[in-house]
Structure 1
């Protein structure tokens, strides 16, 4: 099966952004687009089981009622999902996508994406799902688990689409980010988009040679590319560079160069994701 752009939608405020960025990626990559909605019949925020607080005589009846309500909730969730998939498909067609597909599954998002990994080229996710806390600094638990579980590029997107015009790769010389530079160089997703390579660290011979390699790789592939080495705290330095140069898409490795691996992703990546107001492409 042809690898496709897999866009996970739900009832969150990010679904329109997911739809629009997925349509952009599908057209740029000339890859099929599939919208995915997963009905989680056992959400983490499930209501407390109060049946033990009722007298024995009515408990059996209450359990029957609760089972019926669960069934009704599942049916409503499935129907809501079908309507969202239909709306997403229509929106993608308006954006120029030919015959987007839709899939609805029962289970969890992480399990479903893992099952579909072999037919996935790129995963597009909102920063938070519909059940996540709405604090702008909160990173959705689904996103955390997906990043930890999948070995495909993941595009985390904001709620509103803006066509990327400048891309920055946070580069540290690791195997992941070197592959990221090579991917950027040849991917049609970034055709015609200027690329900035940013190394946060000291001006050393090794860092300079790493930067030169990255810029040469991009230039030889026909990209307009520039880069810098800057000292400072990583997340703050990257943010300052983004603002100074008008960057509107960031590419990062999900793990940094350090020997100690954090539970989710490198601490720098996590900090950037939490504060991101633009799409971030995570590489594994």
Structure 2
């Protein structure tokens, strides 16, 4: 299946896919040398509950996802051909080494999300800026696509940047949603949603697919999807794993899927 031609989620066309980011499971595991909680078990339970994919963000310092996790999860994803494996990170750090090696081994790597984070950042906090980042990104986008891997660019809600993203031959953009999450929590979502909707419309006009992620949760997800057209995938980690501590993986994933279905 060529991920540049299909989402790999044909049975779910018309609905937003849920990709579960398991970084925080790894972060907790790494505090002790016991191997628990298991990243593989978390991913398996999420997929069994109906998640459409798994996301990891392996940083160079291995503060959470470690090198072996990337490969063990790729092997697990072979058992779930209807689901997708999304690897995100800075393409100028260690990300492309993983992509090249996974493809060379014949292991799944359906989508790569390029994120402009620094080594020191605790989490991603901004998108790519054009034309500043364009020249450096172009050859890596071309390389990933030549390997048969879909490329998504982590972007702020800036409608004017969508044409530049498409000119670089990106397949999708992932809208960075922290500003929305903060506004929603303050009861001010209406002040920021128009920018996200306008960016989504601009992306669709350029033929770009749309993903979204960062601080989305059960309280704000439905409202976001109702307001922003064409979102094909949301990647959710911190809030989902926090919810799973109380509800368990299975019920948590099902609840997020209910939020997605409520928006549809």
Normalising by structure 2, what TM-score? Answer: 0.31
When Rg is computed on C-alpha atoms for both structures, the one with the higher figure is 1
Normalising by structure 1, what TM-score? Answer: 0.29
